[in-house]
Structure 1
Amino acid sequence: MSLSLHPDTPRASTLPSPAPASAASGAAAGPGIRTRLFTKYVALFVAVVAIALLANGLFEVFFYYREHKASLIRVQHEQAEAAAAKIGQFVKEIESQLGWTTQLPWSAGSIEQRRFDALRLLRQVPAITELAQVDSTGKERLRVSRLAMDAIESGIDLSSDPKFTEAVARKVYYGPVYFRRESEPYMTLALAGARKDAGVSIAEVNLKLIWDVVSQIKVGQHGHAYVVGPEGRLIAHPDISLVLRNTDMSGLAQVHAAQAAGGTMPDALEEARNIQGQKVLTASAPIEPLHWTMFVELPVEEAYASLYASLQRLAIVLLAASIFAVLAGIFLARRMVGPIQALRSGAERIGGGDFSQRISIRTGDELEGLADQFNDMGARLQESYADLEQKVERRTTELRESLEQQTATAEVLSVISSSPGDLAPVFDAMLDKAMQLCDADFGVLNTFDGHFHTAATRGLSPAYEQYRRSQPLRYGPATAPARLLEGADFVEITDLLHSEPYRNGEPNRRALVDLGGARCLLAVPLKKDDRVVGNVMIFRQEDRSFSQKQVKLLQQFASQAVIAIENARLLAELRKRTEELSHSLEELRTAQDRLVQTEKLASLGQLTAGIAHEIKNPLNFINNFSALSTELIDELNEVLEAAKLDGKTREEVDELTGMLRGNLEKVVQHGKRADSIVRNMLLHSRQGSGEHRAADINAVVEESLNLAYHGARAERPSFNVTLERALDPAAGMVDIYPQEITRVLLNLISNGLYATAKRKEGAGEAFEPTMHVTTKDRGTMVEIRIRDNGTGIPPEVKEKMFNPFFTTKPAGEGTGLGLSMSHDIVVKQHGGTIDVDTEPGVFTEFIITLPRTMAAGGTSGGKS
């Protein structure tokens, strides 16, 4: 049998471009084949052998593990029970030795005889360190000790001590384990005599001797046994230092579980961790009647050592069998699957476009005939589609590239239209598309105004980005930005490592290569009217040049960036002009407010004239600026028409120019009003404030209140205040300067409205502004009260409020002369009084008193 795959050499020149890749994939599984036939045969053979061996081994290991573990637990239980029995026997022997000291009643024998017997007991039983004998009444009669002086007839009353009461009640008492001097464990053993008058013998037993019993218990090579008391304290352990340290074992899971189960370890906790944290196999047995628990532990590693050895042998056998099965399976599968695999691979390559592929099978059966048919079909297809595929592929590539470029251009233009004043999203979108279509790794866009400034970056490494932030952008000679400034249409450097700036140590070029990893660079300028205003640079991290199409594409993006910059500049210029006009309007309003305040000072005579002349000059400038602004709007419209903005941007521009025209109309109106005020001031400075005459004070107050209220509503249309009037008809006629008193009332009422509006802003909807005005007949005097519930006046302000030029309003909202002038008009000109009552944050009330008849020699309003 012979089989092979070989290309048709004479027709190799007409192969389509995908043929090599298709041929290379012939050895791999086809799109519809999940697993190769060869692999199936080998895997099946290996699986049969491995599963049989593995199943047999796992069953043996499983049952051996269970039997071995049960055997170990059984042996440990037997050891624990044997050790528990030894310790119980040890205590019973002590109890038996102690029993003969309670045979005789206290009435028989002498104390010396009993003392001699006690000393003999201490010699015979080394575990007993102290023996006390108590009579039937609970009085201690004799105490013999290894550690202290003997006591005879001490008379200590133990009648209520558990050592006496429990022994009398139960004949024997096993006390809790305690540690003398915080080291050696001890236990109290009390035994009552059979006769009621025999008393009780109390022995203190040193449990350290139990260590001999525990240390003789051997559990494997590294296992051991230990005894734990009912409180979880260690009583006996091969490591005597643990006992002497009074070690608490209650935190171990096996100790807790065994004590809860009465001393026997439950099956669920046969494996636990010892006090050193080592995993152990454990068993326990109770020590009766002491309520102690004997534990026997064996490390799991030692317990299962034979099991691990068995697993290793099984693994070695399984590995050897698997290797044998793989080799045998490969041999058999190759003989069986070879021809089929060759036919499938050849057909797959022909189906993938490799029409030069020829299948050679020499089996002398149907498979060889099928291979010949595939070879004939491949030859005919190769002749028919060789040229066609090349043309289709070439045209498809061109269309795809063109579509990608047009789509990217449209997206960038869309961003420019949607963000005419914000360049950041435009630059980001432009860099993204440029890097995508030019197959670049990262990019930078700089602007230039005599110095370079980073406008956008995409894909920079953290180290290079940090460098650009920390260092000024200065590019040396022969660098790409410098060459673009010199007039180059574009700059391409295919190997930055060997470029002259890099060899000369130019900082930016060094950082670009060493920190950014760049190897290839393409840079184009941003030009406006043959003037470079920036550049775009994209980079690759491999030595691969950019195509001519990619250069043109990047230049196209650069021109779009220039359009975006110009649009942003125009809009910025428009906004700047708008802000200038708005600022001018604010200045005009401020000047108007100053004029209104200054008009109230008309009684200052020549001071008023001087102020009016000083205001006239900036007022003339504002009026002239209004005329120039109208011309500026016309010029701006012409510039915007030339820019050919899209519909949305044009709507925004029309809205801005409309707002400008509206503001200019207001400027003109306020300018005319300001001119009128200045003329009135000049006229008033020459004519004074008129003559005093009798006037209805209620009418003057009502007129002033209405004027101030409507003036406040004109400035704040949304502001509303409740006006309350209580005008006394008996107030009647008063000899006053009506114009001056009106100014005083307007000033005080306007200040009150300002204070209520300010408090309203801080308090919200819950606050209701109120202004209360009253008049009252006081005989030869008339009283006027003006009260508001505004912000009130602080004490430090109240002391200086009538001083000239003192004000608490923001700059431009007051001259500080209103209250001072009001004080002079009321006090000096009319001979009255003006006082204020206030509470900060609650209310302010001004109280004015005016004489009904002005004193002789009163000055005119213009001279006061």
Structure 2
Amino acid sequence: MSISLHPDTPQARTGPSAAAAGVVPGEAAGRGIRTRLFTKYVALFVAVVAIALLANGLFEVFFYYREHKAALIRVQHEQAEAAAAKIGQFVKEIESQLGWTTQLPWSAGSIEQRRFDAQRLLRQVPAITELAQVDATGRERLRVSRLAMDAIDSGIDLSADPKFTEAVAHKVYYGPVYFRRESEPYMTLALAGARKDAGVSIAEVNLKLIWDVVSQIKVGEHGHAYVVGPEGRLIAHPDISLVLRNTDMSGLAQVRAAQAAGSTLSDTLPEARNIQGQQVLTASAPIEPLHWTMFVELPVEEAYATLHAALERLALVLLAASIFAVLAGIFLARRMVGPIQALRSGAERIGGGDFSQRISIKTGDELEGLADQFNDMGGRLQESYADLENKVEQRTAELRESLEQQTATAEILASISGSMHDTKPVFDAIVRNLLRMFDTRFAVVQTVHDGTVEMPAADGQPGFERLTERYPRALADDTVGGLAILSKRTVQFQPILGNPSAPSSTREFARDFGFNSVLFTPMLLREQVIGAIGVARVEAVAFDEKQIALIASFANQAVIAIENTRLLNELRMRTQELSRSLDDLRAAQDRLIQTEKLASLGQLTAGIAHEIKNPLNFINNFSAVSTELIDELNETLQSVSFEGKNKEEVDELTGMLKSNLEKVVQHGKRADSIVRNMLLHSRAGSGEHRPSDINAVVEESLNLAYHGARAERPAFNVTLEREFDPGAGMVDVYPQEIARVLLNLISNGFYAAAKRKESATDGFEPTLNAATKNLGDKVEIRIRDNGTGIPPEVRAKLFNPFFTTKPAGEGTGLGLSMSHDIVVKQHGGTIDVNTEPGVFTEFIITLPRKMAAGDTPGGKS
């Protein structure tokens, strides 16, 4: 770009000789003037600014130092007095709590009430460790202590003790500070009653609790407060170890000075060293009427930190001002040639494409006219490019909006694909993208079940949680969400405030939570509404068609997630039912194998055979409907859209189900054949082993056995005794199996007690005791009855299968044998019996807290 100068300009009249030399004469003259004026203007401006700032800074530092020191003196003394007042208030509160124990006169029947009041006082005032109450004659009538045994009517004569005499004379007595066991500080506080016959209450106060008060007193950032007694002993300090070591502070100069001046230092802040040897500024105040002294200390470095910072700021200001003066001088000097430099710079910027550049020269000559021409040219060029930029920006905004929508849709689809068993991640992704894309006050996903509205996902600006708590759970048309669900269409209102057509509840929410436009879109599944998605804005701005369509697409994706989750959960439930059936079949097969081993034992009753017949009937029935289950599963899977690996996994699961159902039919036929030809003796496991509260298992078994015994014999009554160890806690067991063992042992105990009751003539009372005990890595259970006991010859056979002492028809003889197998083989524990014929029988069970890895419900082989 070339610039043509007007022929009347001085540069045009200089002639070709100047042009041939490559230098404009006017520019050469400007350079000569600039050399002289530049130095003069810079030096003069720097000198004026530097002298003014230096003088102002010195005066400011001088007065700031005086004001800062005065403020330090005032603040330190105010902190000391405030801290002393807190300590005094602490003691006064203890005194006021102690006061109500001296209101009643002494009488023969008031001792228990006074003891109750004293114990309540010790609970309410942790600082009081001992309370003694003395009657009007000076005799100790009651003493309640945290550290010693309580004493009633000890009769100790305290009539000449200062605790009693001073309290009677002055109504209150503050004893000197003493250290119990040379570590913990204590003081005696005695208070006389308002009535002469009310006596005196004497409390021993543990001053260690003043640490809570002192540690909360903040003195600057690194300062602290502490309390010293009249003898210079440390009473309270944020470092409690110093107090417990009975630290002597009388060697500190500030402590000696304060005690000499009546607990108050002078208005100057003396610099001294604290107990750690650190240089500090100290102030003190008396704590009346205790004759203690409160000290506050602040490290010298922290106290004068602001002053040092002010000096550093002043130095920085002076340096910055000097730099500014130099720059300003340079700027003023360059004003001589500024217009020409501005024209050159403007031409370069316009040539570089910066059409917003404007040259402002107010010289009133040709240079100003030339600047105006440059500005006009730049304006025309800027207008030409502005239209192009607007079009580019508009297209870019459209592309950005489309990209955001695609990104949000992709994120939601990824959530659907990655969380097919749970809709919560999908709903959270929808809410998160609504907030990000629409800048809303809040966004929610609602679901409807039997007329009840739930909010599985909601998020928004602070305060929206209260809206979700207040939102009505019953489906109704007094909210925009309910209106959208009931009408099965998208509903929006703007504005809401002052709009009588908006639902009443929504108007109330808009007023309370600060939004003025809202939109809800229903979620439809085969023309049935299952929920809605809603967003709200602070401004009363309508949602355009693109935004409504995007929210509707989010609603469709949420419906897909819900339907997929429902179908997969249904598939999982049916798979679990089939798995449980297969487990029952395997258990039945195991019992059948055991039956083959015991087929020669004829003592088993028909009831035991019936136990295995029930699951076999279920297996046969299940095989009859297996074809219908497979067909229903296939129909369900056909309605679900799967992609890639998910489709392969579902097909593999379907094939496995078909194969397992065929095995169910085969094993069922084999089980029927075995049951028809032999008796059955087996015992199935009871569920999964898990950590269980052993005390709760024993208690439940005790109650079940007791109520069962009462149901069989209403006239029979037995006394139950429980001795449960709280430390027994959780044990890894098969709880139903252990309950079966306990029910067996408890029922035997009731039977033995009942037999002895029938033959007793001396007022015998049957008793059964259940106890637990923590043995570390094991737990012990004892079941003891005072029944007939067990003879030695019977005890040796007690755990043999089919051995029983009951009359024929009343038992199979398998109860104790099964109990032995459950405890020993299945759980790896022990079971033993301790008995004395005609006196008692006690079964002792020990169980490990953690079962071995090989233990199974069926026991160990």
| Alignment TM-score > 0.5, same fold | no
**Structure 1-normalised TM-score?**
0.43
- Larger CA Rg, structure 1 vs 2: 1
